[in-house]
Structure 1
Amino acid sequence: MNVLLAANTVGAIAGIVFALVGGVRPAALSESGTPTGGERFYGWMYASRGVPLGVAALVAPLAWPGPAGALILCAAAAAQVGDAVIGIATRKATMIAGSSLLAAIHVATAVTTA
């Protein structure tokens, strides 16, 4: 269980970092030369979802073990599944792998701590 909590912690922090990078430097994630206004807009939209959800996924299993924490982790996992689907649509293997792995970690942590 400690290994799973550690993996969830590392994954949640990584999710927060990627969300912040998406907001501050959207071209780093989109791999475009100069970000358009739309890329900057959607980067901040991603960050406004990703940071709070990442913090919640980080804190939930420690602060609220049981059904409440599991629900938060399942919501975070659902967001990661959505990111993986976007990765499939845009053919970004790292996005598919990272989001899928983090979704699995969130679900496993939810099941273990519920």
Structure 2
Amino acid sequence: MYRPEVAAYKCRCAEFILAITPPLPNLPHRDPSICGVPSLVIPRKDAQCVFSMRAERDRKPIRLTLKDGKVERWFLYRCPRCDLAVAYDTADKDAAYTYTLESALLKMDVD
């Protein structure tokens, strides 16, 4: 029987944040030249990618001006323990993708 690899990730403060299949290094990168921040793309509507995130989503977005002059709204996900931003969405509802901030999460060893 095939069992996909489930990877677990924690915040820098050691709080459990994310369980996902496939592991983050297997996901595509969002081009940092677009938004200036290295991010990994989690597709929300892909049956091959299943995840559970234990982070609190901000109710109000922050507005970022991208390098091309366009404005993008980010709804940040924050660690419930230390309030570090660990991920973001760019849509109010039904976002197609969630982006994890590449340096915010650390892989956990799971037995």
TM-score w.r.t. the length of structure 1 is 0.25
Larger strand share, 1 or 2: 2
Using structure 2 for the length normalisation, give the TM-score. Answer: 0.26
